[in-house]
Amino acid sequence: DPLAYIARHPPRIRSYAWRYLARAAGMLEESAEDGRRQVREGRALAAYCLGRAHEELEALGLEHFVMLFHSATAFSPLGAPHADEQVLIDFLAERRIPFVDTRRVLEEECARAGTDIRAFYYHGPPDAWHPNTRGTEVLFRALRLGLERRYDAH
C-alpha cells in the first residue's frame, strides 16, 4: 500500500518532484568536482522533466500549476532555503509555469501566530518533520491560492 508506506516514511524534502529529479540516479554530491557536475546534470534532468510535463499538459489544454512544498529544516531557526530552491523558482518563472510556493503561507502564519515553523510539523517518528494537522491546514491555503489561479509567478 503506497499511502501506508509514505505515512511510515515521509520524504524529508523541500519540493517532491524537484528534489527527486535533481537527486535521481545517484546524482548526489560526493566530491567538489564531481558534485558540481552531478548537480548540473541533476538540474538539467529536472528542468527537462518539469518542462516536458508542462508542455504536454498545455498541449492537452489542461490547466495546471506546480505547488512547492518545504520541510521544516528549510526555515529559520532550523535551517535555511536549499540552494536549489531559487534555481527551481527561476526555472518556473522563465518557462512561465504557474506555481504556488508554500513558503509564503507558512511564513505568514508564523508571523500571524507569533510562532516558528516547528508548530506546523511533527517532531518524532514515524512522521518526523512531516506537516501536522495545523501545518496541513496552512498548506491547504496555498493549494486554494493555486486553484483560484493566484500564483506566485506565471
Bridge partner list, 131:
121
Per the model's pLDDT, the better-predicted residue between 94 and 8 turns out to be: 94
Q: Exposure pattern of 100-122 as b/e (b: 16+ CB <10 Å)?
A: bbbbebbeebbeeeeeebbbbbb
Longest Cα pair distance anywhere in the chain, in angstroms?
45
Does residue 122 contact residue 132 with C-beta atoms inside 8 Å?
A: yes
pLDDT band at 129 (very low <50, low <70, confident <90, very high): confident
Output the pTM of the full model.
0.72
Nearest CA-CA partner of 117 in 130, 107, 132, 104: 107
Please report the pLDDT score of residue 60 as a whole number. 94
Q: Read off the pLDDT of residues 135-151 as tens digits, 9 standing for 90 and up.
A: 999 999 999 999 999 99
Please report the pLDDT score of residue 1 as a whole number. 64
